[in-house]
Amino acid sequence: MNDREYQKKNLEKIFRDASFSPVFISHPKYCIGEFIDVTPYIAYDDVMENKYIIRGKELGAKHNEFDSEKRPIIVEYNSIDELVNDGWRL
């Protein structure tokens, strides 16, 4: 299994089970400017609603597995495939 398949499989499981709010590795394409010092994640409410919205919270802020705060949006996608194909990694 390659990395893309691994990422997709894990994200599908997170969304299917609504298990937690996933956190991502900083993306060099998006984590610049106002988003340079943020931790990218998908809010738990967005997971519950099958929305693929990457948000940013301040670096060092403790991550709650069920974080639903509507922080600034970094980027939105229509599917897990789009998100993974754009280079986001858990």
Instruction: Record the pTM.
Output: 0.92
Percent of all residues in the chain with a pLDDT value above 90, rounded to a whole number: 83
Integer Cα distance of 67 and 57 in angstroms? 10
Write the pLDDT tens digit of every residue in 33-50: 999 999 999 999 999 999
* Long-range pairs of 49-58 with CB within 8 A, sequence gap ≥ 24: 50/15, 51/76, 52/76, 52/77, 52/78, 52/79, 52/80, 52/82, 52/83, 53/77, 54/24, 54/27, 54/30, 54/83, 54/88, 56/31
Q: How far is CA 65 from the centre of its chain?
A: 12
Each of the 90 residues of the chain gets a pLDDT tens digit; together they read 899 999 999 999 999 999 899 999 999 999 999 999 999 999 999 999 999 999 999 887 777 787 888 899 999 999 999 999 999 999
Confidence (pLDDT) at 63:
75
